[in-house]
Amino acid sequence: MTSPRRRPQLMRQRARSAWLFLAPMLIVLAAVAGWPLLRTIYFSFTDASLADLEASRWIGFANYFSILQMPSGRVIYDGLLVDPVWWRAVWNTLRFAVISVTCETILGMIVALVLNAEFRGRGIVRAAILIPWTIPTIVSAKMWQWMLNDQFGIINDVLLRLGLISTKIAWTANADTAMFAVLIVDIWKTTPFMALLILAALQMLPQEIFEVAKLDGVSPWRVFWRVTLPLIRPALMVAVIFRGLDALRIFDLIYVLTPNNVQTKSMSVFARENLFEFDKFAYGSAASTLLFAILALLTMLVLWLGRVRLDRGY
């Protein structure tokens, strides 16, 4: 009779101290993430202007969607949900995220597999490959901006000398190559990050499996698909989700390389432009809110997909 009563008490005590230990973190999180997020969502339902934030009035969903009846009888649809510039930004961002993360995963995998092998000077190569990741994005974006410069850039110079192009290409100015240029720089920068995460997963694998596979004479290609890949899949998923979320927030690189190009304008760049440059703080808040909603939705989707497939025991 005594033990069932004592145990809940103990549990309660432990739960209490757990909350106590968690409290500082929760409070900090609420202050630096929760509160700004709530403020942004609130502002997206108002007509706030940066000139005087306190004077904002509640206007409901008008920033997202509204129907205006003109005196002439014409009906106009207005708001973020029917703004072609916004949808262009959404499309740009998604396209950027899918292409960059795919390339980074494949390249990162190759690099990790190479680095996982034993060879002389592996330590130095491992350190060297991390350099692009350690350079701050603003710095590497500026650096690439000069390298991609049409008149003085080293990229055009090299390609010209090799005879691969006949005229200098304006990488960041040309509508067809602007996104390509942004992708190149992002892949260059983030492949090391993927490689590092995948390498960490590879090094956790027990070597015996590979020895057995070798003894059985299984081809390396089959070993990779049937053994290595399934085993590192959980870690790979985490890496891909990390990178994917990061890529969907892409801002700094595009802001430096091609700030106002319609072809590369991402959701974050769109939000910033409305928030601070135009007199549309509320509209920009609505864009930020939608960006948050899209990110949250995609994260849940990816997590859910990953869980289902894991449960099936692949």
Phi, psi of 281 (to 5 degrees): -60, -40
Angle among Cα 66, 67, 68 to the nearest 5 degrees reads: 120
Q: In sequence order, which residues have a C-beta less than 8 Å from that of residue 274 and are 6 or more positions away?
A: 280, 281, 283, 284, 287
Q: 91 vs 278, which CB is nearer to other proteins?
A: 278
**Nearest 10 degrees: Cα torsion 102, 107, 108, 111:** 170
Binding mask 185-224 for other proteins (x = CB under 8 A): ----------------------------------------
Tell me how far, at minimum, the Cβ of 260 lies from other proteins, in Å: 4
The answer to whether 166 contacts other proteins (rule: CB under 8 A) is: no
Q: End-to-end distance of the chain based on CA atoms, in angstroms?
A: 46
And the tokens for 313?
Answer: 């025991």
Token pair 């005087």 in the structure block, residue: 52
Tell me how far, at minimum, the Cβ of 178 lies from other proteins, in Å: 9
Phi, psi of 18 (to 5 degrees): -60, -45
Asked if 180 and 257 count as a contact pair (C-beta separation under 8 A), the reply is no
- Sign of the CA dihedral running 15, 16, 22, 28: positive
> 3-state DSSP helix/strand/coil percent for the chain, to nearest 5?
75, 5, 25
Q: Which of 56, 116, 174, 299 binds other proteins (CB under 8 A)?
A: 174
And the tokens for 314?
Answer: 């692949």
Q: Which of 93, 191, 273, 289 binds other proteins (CB under 8 A)?
A: 273
Tell me how far, at minimum, the Cβ of 207 lies from other proteins, in Å: 52
CA distance 184 to 128: 19
Binding mask 77-116 for other proteins (x = CB under 8 A): -x--------------------------------------
Q: Which of 23, 262, 300, 303 binds other proteins (CB under 8 A)?
A: 262
Question: Near other proteins by CB under 8 A, which window of 32-40, 114-122, 167-175, 212-220?
Answer: 167-175
The answer to whether 11 contacts other proteins (rule: CB under 8 A) is: no
Angle among Cα 149, 96, 297 to the nearest 5 degrees reads: 150
Q: Which of 14, 260, 293, 296 binds other proteins (CB under 8 A)?
A: 260
DSSP element (H, E) containing 77: strand 75-78
Q: Which of 100, 105, 190, 258 binds other proteins (CB under 8 A)?
A: 258
Q: Which of 44, 46, 93, 149 binds other proteins (CB under 8 A)?
A: 149
The answer to whether 50 contacts other proteins (rule: CB under 8 A) is: yes
Q: Which of 22, 38, 53, 165 binds other proteins (CB under 8 A)?
A: 53
Asked if 234 and 310 count as a contact pair (C-beta separation under 8 A), the reply is yes
Tell me how far, at minimum, the Cβ of 118 lies from other proteins, in Å: 46
Q: 171 vs 193, which CB is nearer to other proteins?
A: 171
Q: 93 vs 264, which CB is nearer to other proteins?
A: 264
Interface with other proteins by CB under 8 A: which residues?
A: 49-53, 76, 78, 149-152, 167-170, 172-175, 258-262, 272-273, 276-280
